[in-house]
Amino acid sequence: MIGIMADSHDNLPVIREAVDLLNHERVDMVLHAGDLISPFTAKDFNELKMPFEAIFGNNDGEKDGLRAAYSNICDLKDFKVLEVDGVSIAMIHGHQEELVDCLAGCGKYDVVVKGHSHQNSVEEKGSLVIDPGELCGYVSGKKTFILLDLDDLSHELVEL
């Protein structure tokens, strides 16, 4: 089982709540699809008891500071490909929807994880395309992330 989140936008109380909940679930890894925003968020994500992988989003302007702050947690990039329990996962923030569609339709990835829209969705587009919605809750009013079972790709939306 993995946790998938995006668009935390410096909402520290919600980040802490999500980290606490994930630390008490049977989660093997957490993925963040961008818009961490500030380097100081690394301190809270560092409290996760499982591996954490994240990418940059379109609002992550302080890339050097973020890379430095997250250097002990993960290697931040604009795009990542992971293999987790035999499942190939592409991570992209998603502000260029054409790239998401290309990744989903190319046949290389079982799952494409994206963010940016602040709206949760799970769609089959050749790959399972997962947008966990926004962790911050600023735009939609809903603070969400997704739990994904890698055995059968079933998923559960978690609202904080």
* Structure confidence by residue, pLDDT tens digits, 99-153: 999 999 999 999 999 999 999 999 999 999 999 999 999 999 999 999 999 999 9
What confidence category does residue 49 fall into, taking pLDDT thresholds of 50, 70 and 90?
Answer: very high
Q: Enter the pTM of the model.
A: 0.97
Please report, for residues 38, 62, 65, 74, 149, the alpha-carbon distance to residue 59 in angstroms, rounded to integers and kept in the order given: 10, 9, 13, 18, 29
Domain that holds residue 57: 2-159
How many whole angstroms separate alpha carbon 73 and alpha carbon 67?
Answer: 10
* Dist CA 28 CA 13 (whole Å): 23
Placement of tokens 């699809």 in the chain: 33
Confidence of residue 87 (pLDDT cuts 50, 70, 90): very high
d(CA 112, CA 122): 10
What gap in Å lies between CA 101 and CA 117, rounded to an integer? 14
> What's the domain count of the chain?
1
Structure-derived torsion over alpha carbons of residues 116, 108, 49, 17, reported in degrees to the nearest 10: 20
- The alpha carbons of the chain give a radius of gyration, in whole angstroms, of 14
Reading the block at residue 121, the tokens are 């969705």
Tell me the pLDDT band of 45, cut-offs 50, 70 and 90.
Answer: very high
Confidence of residue 84 (pLDDT cuts 50, 70, 90): very high
Which pLDDT does position 154 carry in this prediction?
Answer: 98
pLDDT range class, residue 156, cuts 50, 70, 90: very high
Q: Per DSSP, what are the bridge partners of residue 71?
A: none
Mean pLDDT, the chain, as a whole number?
97
Distances (CA, A) of 72 to 38, 103, 106: 16, 29, 33
Q: What percent of the chain has pLDDT over 90?
A: 98
d(CA 1, CA 11): 24
